[in-house]
Chains A and B, each alone.
Chain A
């Protein structure tokens, strides 16, 4: 299959004004300028349309907290116990969630599906392609990361029931306790099989990073210190006040999955969450990507939320990268998705105009080389 006569945004720095892209067996096999090739029969001529890699949302509850569903389709917060690393988001993921169709309509082809924020350790996240109806065939990376949560959310969920943690002190003590036990388990201390510590091994063995939900700057610094203490990689999720801890995030080699940036500031902790967070991180050289935090804001409009950050000063190229290349790198799935390069998955989205134009229309979408829109 070959798409011709497109303006191709590879997201690796190169924009091909009039180019082609060819893929075979789900994989991109060739990209180049039109003047280096001849149009053939069977080519898909997009007549000057804009071509991008499928967009990536690095932190969502898609399929876990289903659109339009109440308790029947709410599977994102296991509020029965605050430390549940053994849970796997994949096991709660329902591909029949309408939101998957909506995501594809918006050009979003990959999402990291994550447990919610009520638990100190919520479980394992999974990277899913959003086209298909068999989750086993939609998996891109499992586990993708381990989800942690600091600050008001666990306090609210458990403190309100007189269960620890009621305070930030308890939050960190409980996390240290389970991480110490995992270290001992890992170092072969005599122990029974333990599902919780077993699930944390990939984190301490540095195979996957932690996604740590933190909004307040002090919670962010606590997360970074914890990762240093136990030697695991750490990505900050949401990060309403992340711009105030820029120096610390940079020094720790961490990054921020910022968002949702289009919400109201519904609590004191989120009072600085606004469209300007992305620009403020960019100005301070902090690696970041932008998330819809679906269902908190609709995943279909991930590109719109990225475009809106431009009014707060983020350059267009950075806003685009924040939902493609940078999102893939932070989620550690950039070997497969996030850019248009030979050898990567053929996840390709085509628009009649630049997707940041308010009246742009998605005209075609390929996931794993299959046309789905």
Chain B
């Protein structure tokens, strides 16, 4: 299968004004200018100058885990504040009505998972929106570990009369958990007998830097606390939401953390989220902080359809088009370690492709074609 006469934006630098892209068995095999098109037969889609981009990725949402129009919300565990052994794939519902909406916006992969009521909420999963069960649709079942700092877990557990009530308790409990997990891992490595602990097991990939931590934090002090805690344990760190990031952008840069902003199309409901503005991507760009943009889609909060309008409005407030596109493609993939498979158009990557007759940031744009693993979905 090949797509011809596309204005191909690979989202990793190269743009082909009049190009083609070939894929076989779900994988991209060749990209180039039309002038270099190898003459061979086979199925062919002439997109007549349309924009061809990688399928978009929402780097943080609750699609499938908190389905629309349903009471079956699976993202808030409120019994135990530390549940790293939980995994989003176990709650993913492939018939969530948010999924066809995402597809009709050109979104092909979501990072979905637990909410922010728990200090450690469990493992986030990267899932393709091809309508299949997570067992086959997952790009990576465990792609990041979800943490939450600030008022969300405090409010939840205080209302049940359980720790943590305060930020002091939250940090102490997290430190204790990570120390215990590191000890468990070191014992295993040295062959010292230690009884099986499912929570510690789940934290080993994090301590080995195989997956990053995604830390829900809004207030500047919570962002700082999260980054320092992760540095203490040599864990890769991505801050999620980060409404007050503007205050400490230089520090975020210096400490080497990345940020997923969002939901940006949003009315702030408490003081913690007050700084959540479309200016944040521009400020991150100016400070040299790597960023992505998410919708945080879940019932009562934000719609997955707002992913591209959110990136577009970041451009309105001063971000560059190139970085804003990467914020919903390549960076969204990188921050969950799935950029070997998705996030840009490159030979060897999955054939997840969106085709638009107008620039995808145009508010009236709808994809004319969407492919996942080389299969046409729209």
Residues of chain A having any CB pair with chain B under 8 Å: 67-70, 98-99, 262-268, 270-271, 274-275, 294-299, 301, 304, 307-308, 310-311, 356-361
Tell me the bound Cα distance from A294 to B267 in angstroms. Answer: 8
Closest CB in chain A relative to B315 CB, distance in Å: 6
Cβ of B270: which chain A residues have Cβ within 8 Å of it? 68-70
| B268 & A264 in contact (Cβ 8 Å cutoff) | no
Q: Does B156 sit within 8 A of A, measured CB to CB?
A: no
When C-beta atoms are compared, the residue in chain B nearest to A61 turns out to be B267
| B99 contacts A by Cβ under 8 Å | no
In the complex with contacts A358-B313, A359-B316, A270-B267 CB distance below 8 A: no
Q: Does B306 contact A (CB under 8 A)?
A: yes
What is B's interface to A at a CB cutoff of 8 Å?
A: 68-70, 97-98, 101, 265-271, 273-274, 297-306, 309, 312-313, 315-316, 361-366
A311 and B98 within 8 A (CB) = no
Closest B-chain residue to A298, C-beta based? B267
Given contacts A68-B271, A266-B68, A267-B69, contact A310 B363 (CB under 8 A): yes
Assembled-state Cα–Cα distance A213/B70 (Å): 21
Interface CB pairs A-B, < 8 A, 10: A68-B271, A69-B270, A264-B98, A264-B299, A266-B300, A308-B364, A311-B365, A357-B363, A358-B309, A358-B313
> Across the interface, do A268 and B69 meet the contact criterion of CB distance under 8 Å?
yes
Q: Once the chains bind, are B68 and A264 in contact (CB under 8 Å)? A: yes
CA distance in complex: A176, B366 (Å): 46
The minimal Cβ–Cβ distance linking A353 to chain B, given in whole angstroms, is: 10
Could you say which of B269, B299, B364 contacts A265, with CB atoms under 8 Å apart? B299
Q: Which of A68, A264, A297 has the most CB of B within 10 A?
A: A264
Report how far A310 CA is from B309 CA in the complex, Å: 13
Contact B309 A304 (CB under 8 A): yes
Bound complex: CA of A68 vs CA of B69, how far in Å? 26
Q: Give Cα distance in the complex from A190 to B361, angstroms.
A: 64
Chain B hits for A296, CB < 8 A: 267
Interface centre among A67, A294, A360 (most CB of B within 10 A): A67
- State the CA gap A247–B136 with chains docked (Å): 45
Given A264-B98, A266-B299, A301:B363 Cβ within 8 A: no
- Write the chain B residue with the least CB distance to A300: B267
Q: Is A262 a contact partner of B306 (Cβ separation < 8 A)?
A: yes
Q: Which of B297, B362, B366 contacts A264 (CB 8 A)?
A: B297
Knowing A275-B305, A310-B364, the reply to whether A264 touches B300 (Cβ < 8 A) is yes
Given known A264-B302, A358-B313, contact A271–B97 (CB-CB < 8 A): yes
Contact (Cβ within 8 A) B303 A264? yes
- Identify the closest chain B residue to A361 (Cβ): B316
Q: Give bound CA distance, A67 to B313, whole Å.
A: 20
- B363→A308 contact, CB < 8 A: yes
Q: How far is the CB of A310 from chain B (nearest CB, A)?
A: 4
When distances are taken between beta carbons in the complex, the residues of chain B under 8 Å from A304 are: 265, 309, 313, 363
Closest Cβ of chain B to A195, distance in Å, is 32
Q: Is the CB of B363 within 8 A of A358?
A: yes
Chain B residues, CB < 8 A from A69: 270
Known A310-B363, A311-B364, A356-B363: A67·B300 in contact at CB below 8 Å: no
Bound together, the chains give a CA A275 to CA B361 distance in angstroms of: 16
**Shortest distance between the CB of B36 and any CB in chain A (Å):** 33
Known A-B contacts: A265-B69, A265-B299. Give 15 more (CB < 8 A): A68-B271, A69-B270, A264-B301, A271-B68, A271-B69, A295-B269, A298-B266, A301-B265, A304-B363, A307-B363, A307-B364, A310-B364, A357-B363, A359-B312, A359-B316
